[in-house]
Chains A and B, each alone.
Chain A
Amino acid sequence: MTTNKKDTNTDFEVRSLDAICKNQEAVELPMWHNLKYLAFGVAFGIVLIKSEVISWFRIQEMFRLQSFHMFGVIGSAVAVGALSVFLIKKFKIKSIHGEEIILPEKTFNKGQIYGGLLFGFGWAMTGACPGPMFAQLGYGAIATAVTILMAIVGTWVYGLLREKLPA
């Protein structure tokens, strides 16, 4: 199969769902600017652990409807996120580099159902989604390295089989 970069980019538009972030900055910034994302990641990792949302036990509680905690965290996160997005759109707030903030629209694809169910299985089994796995590892759950490695393998196999899967 021959694919040049142009074809690949078209492919992203056809199935924008699995597209990588499309609204990236037009300005070219030096590499050290990425350190701010490192800092945000550290903050996010601390919150994930201290709120126990990456505890395998808390995940089991959520899926057995034995506790409100997880629903409270996700619900209030969405409420704050939605209010923020509303305000950004309403007041046309720009990024710190003066760029217009663009939020990509997602299109429906059956993958959201099939893939969503499969991820739900994995979430209940490992007690982790992709972000939490890295926080668990950092916190000292060393065997999570296996989970992370297998998640990368799973992503790779998806890429391999992508054209053959129902979409």
Chain B
Amino acid sequence: MTIIELIKQPWPWYVAGPIIGLMVPTLLIFGNKTFGISSSLRHVCAACLPAKIPFFQYDWKKEIWNLFFVFGVFLGGIVTAFYFKNDAAVVVDPQLITELSAYGIVDFSGLVPSEIFSWASLATPRGFILMVIGGFLVGFGTRYAGGCTSGHAIMGLSNLQLPSLIATISFMAGGFIMANLILPFILSL
């Protein structure tokens, strides 16, 4: 197996996790930056539509490294699609496949189910709720919580911050409630 073929396979958790963890010291040592991504959304607001809202009145240009980083993540997606793409469907728990097929979700080839996350399904109730309201909650919730999975769960926990532990537990609790109690209802719409 060549190296490229090896890279194309899904990476196990014990390879990917430590690499993600190394983002923390890399950013600290190369530029005294704390790892975090959701702030980039705030910088976009401050740059494009501050609208005299105090929360967006700051010099976003001083935080431009964060926008470079996020643009890099986007480019990383393109690079992977061109050079390291694995055409096999994601291997998930058989129980999940059974559960989702009950809602007409049978395409496991992409990162997101094509039956829901497409332009066409934007006009359907479940597509609208998951993309539009879901996206809104990601932006609103992360800013209200003061960080996301990277800023709180990885950076904050690495620095042993109790508020980040509280935030991480809340992320997980919200996810459990949504996935198990509310999502089945939304998917059946």
Question: Footprint of B on A, CB under 8 Å?
Answer: 1, 3, 5, 7-9, 11-12, 17-21, 23-25, 31, 33-64, 66-70, 72-82, 84-85, 87-88, 93, 95-97, 99, 101-109, 111-131, 133-144, 146-160, 162, 165
**Pairwise interchain contact A68-B135, C-beta atoms closer than 8 A:** no
**Pairwise interchain contact B112-A56, C-beta atoms closer than 8 A:** yes
**Pairwise interchain contact A134-B65, C-beta atoms closer than 8 A:** no
A sample of 18 cross-chain residue pairs with beta-carbon separation below 8 angstroms, ordered by A number, consists of A37-B69, A41-B73, A44-B76, A45-B74, A57-B96, A59-B175, A77-B17, A78-B158, A81-B24, A85-B28, A111-B145, A114-B144, A116-B174, A130-B139, A133-B135, A133-B138, A138-B80, A155-B44
CB neighbours of B92 from chain A (8 A) = 57-58, 60-61, 66-67
CA A93 – CA B30 in complex, angstroms? 11
Rank and list the top 10 A-B pairs by shortest CB-CB distance, nearest first. Answer: A120-B174, A41-B72, A45-B76, A138-B77, A116-B170, A115-B144, A154-B139, A80-B21, A119-B141, A76-B17
**Pairwise interchain contact A18-B143, C-beta atoms closer than 8 A:** yes
Q: Which of B29, B59, B73 contacts A131 (CB 8 A)?
A: B73
Interface membership of B102, Cβ < 8 A: no
**Pairwise interchain contact B18-A21, C-beta atoms closer than 8 A:** no
Task: Kindly count the residue-residue contacts between A and B in the assembled complex, taking CB atoms under 8 Å apart.
Answer: 543
Q: Which of A40, A63, A138 contacts B78 (CB 8 A)?
A: A138
- Please give the distance in Å from A63's CB to the nearest CB on chain B: 3
Question: Footprint of A on B, CB under 8 Å?
Answer: 7, 10-11, 13-45, 49, 51-59, 62-66, 68-81, 84, 90, 92-93, 95-96, 99-100, 108, 110-113, 117-119, 121-122, 129-150, 152-164, 166-180, 182-183, 186
CA A48 – CA B37 in complex, angstroms? 13
Measured CB to CB, the nearest residue on chain A to B117 is: A143
Measured CB to CB, the nearest residue on chain B to A3 is: B54
CA A66 – CA B164 in complex, angstroms? 25
Measured CB to CB, the nearest residue on chain A to B167 is: A112
Q: Which of B13, B57, B174 contacts A124 (CB 8 A)?
A: B174
Q: Which of A25, A48, A146 contacts B73 (CB 8 A)?
A: A48
**Pairwise interchain contact A24-B32, C-beta atoms closer than 8 A:** yes
**Pairwise interchain contact B138-A119, C-beta atoms closer than 8 A:** yes
Q: Which of A42, A72, A73, A143 contacts B75 (CB 8 A)?
A: A42
- Please give the distance in Å from B53's CB to the nearest CB on chain A: 5
**Pairwise interchain contact A159-B72, C-beta atoms closer than 8 A:** no
**Pairwise interchain contact A42-B76, C-beta atoms closer than 8 A:** yes
**Pairwise interchain contact A61-B93, C-beta atoms closer than 8 A:** yes
**Pairwise interchain contact A25-B76, C-beta atoms closer than 8 A:** no
CA A116 – CA B166 in complex, angstroms? 8
Known contacts A135-B77, A155-B42; A147/B146 CB under 8 A: no
**Pairwise interchain contact A63-B179, C-beta atoms closer than 8 A:** yes
Measured CB to CB, the nearest residue on chain B to A167 is: B144
Known contacts A63-B178, A64-B179, A129-B142; A101/B172 CB under 8 A: no
**Pairwise interchain contact A112-B145, C-beta atoms closer than 8 A:** yes
Known contacts A72-B17, A148-B135; A117/B170 CB under 8 A: yes
**Pairwise interchain contact B13-A72, C-beta atoms closer than 8 A:** yes
CB neighbours of A151 from chain B (8 A) = 41, 135-136, 138-139, 142
